[in-house]
Amino acid sequence: MSGTESTNDLHGSIPVYKPTPYDQIEEIYSTLNERFNSRDTLSLAYRLYNLKQLAYLIQDNEKRIQHAVHTDLNKGGFDVNLGDLWPILNEIDLAIRRVEDWMKDESRIWDAMLSFKSMRPRIKKQPKGVALIISAWNFPWQLTLIPLVGAISAGCPAVLKVSEHAPSSSALLAELLPRYLDPKGYAVVLGAAEESTKLLEKPWGHILYTGSGNVGKIVAAAAAKTLTPTTLELGGKSPVIVSSCADLKIAAKRMFTIKQMAAGQICIAPDYVLVVKDKVDEFIKVCKETLDDLFPPSPSPYSFLHTPQSASMRNDNDLDRMISYIDEAEQKGKLVHRGELNKDTRRLGVSLVRTNVNAQGESGGLMEDEVFGPVMAIIPVENIDAAIKYINDRPHPLALYVCAGKRSVFKKVIDETWSGSATWNDFGFATLARNLPFGGVGASGWGSYHGKDGFDTFTHHKAVLEIPYIFEPLMSLRYPPMSTLGKTLFKFLLCSGVGFSRPTSVEGEQGKLRRKKVVRWMTGILVGLLGAYVGTLGWGGQRA
d(CA 413, CA 418): 9
Cis upstream peptide for 481 (omega within 30°): yes
Residue at 256: amino acid letter: F
CB environment 13-22: b (16+ within 10 A), e (fewer): ebbebeebee
CA 311 to chain CA centroid, nearest Å: 22
Sequence letter at residue 544: A
- 454 φ, ψ to 5°? -65, -45
The helix/strand/coil state of 450 is coil
- Which segments of 13-136 are extended strands (E)? 106-107, 122-127, 131-134
Measured distance CA(522)–CA(516) in Å, rounded: 10
Residue 414 CB contacts under 8 Å (≥ 6 apart), including other chains = 400, 402, 422
CB 282 within 8 A of CB 290: no
How many other C-beta atoms lie within 10 A of the C-beta of residue 140? 27
Beta strands in 169-284 (DSSP E): 186-189, 206-210, 230-233, 238-242, 270-276
Nearest to 171 by CA among 162, 182, 179, 180: 162
Q: How would you classify residue 192: left for phi > 0, otherwise alpha for psi between -120 and 50, otherwise beta?
A: beta
- Non-local (6+) Cβ contacts of 244 within 8 A are 276, 278, 279
Q: Single out the residue of 290, 281, 285, 278 nearest to residue 243, CA to CA.
A: 278
Among candidate residues 175, 195, 233, 340, the one labeled active-site is 233
Would you say 86 and 67 are in contact if contact means Cβ atoms under 8 Å apart? no
**Burial profile 462-501: b = 16 or more Cβ within 10 angstroms, e = fewer:** eeeeeeeeeeeeeeebeeeeeeeebeebbeeeeeeeeeee
Which amino acid, residue 505? S
Known catalytic membership, residue 27: no
In the three-class reduction of DSSP (H, G, I as helix; E, B as strand; rest coil), residue 298 is classed as: coil
Query: At 534, phi and psi to the nearest 5?
Result: -60, -40
Backbone angles phi, psi at 386, to 5 degrees: -65, -35
Q: What is the DSSP string of 332-401?
A: TT-EEE---EETTTTEE--EEEE--GGGTT--SHHHHS---SSEEEEEEESSHHHHHHHHHTSPPPSEEE
What is the pairing mode between strands 341-342 and 347-348?
A: antiparallel
Closest by CA to 337, choosing from 288, 396, 393, 267, is: 288
Which residues are known to be catalytic?
233
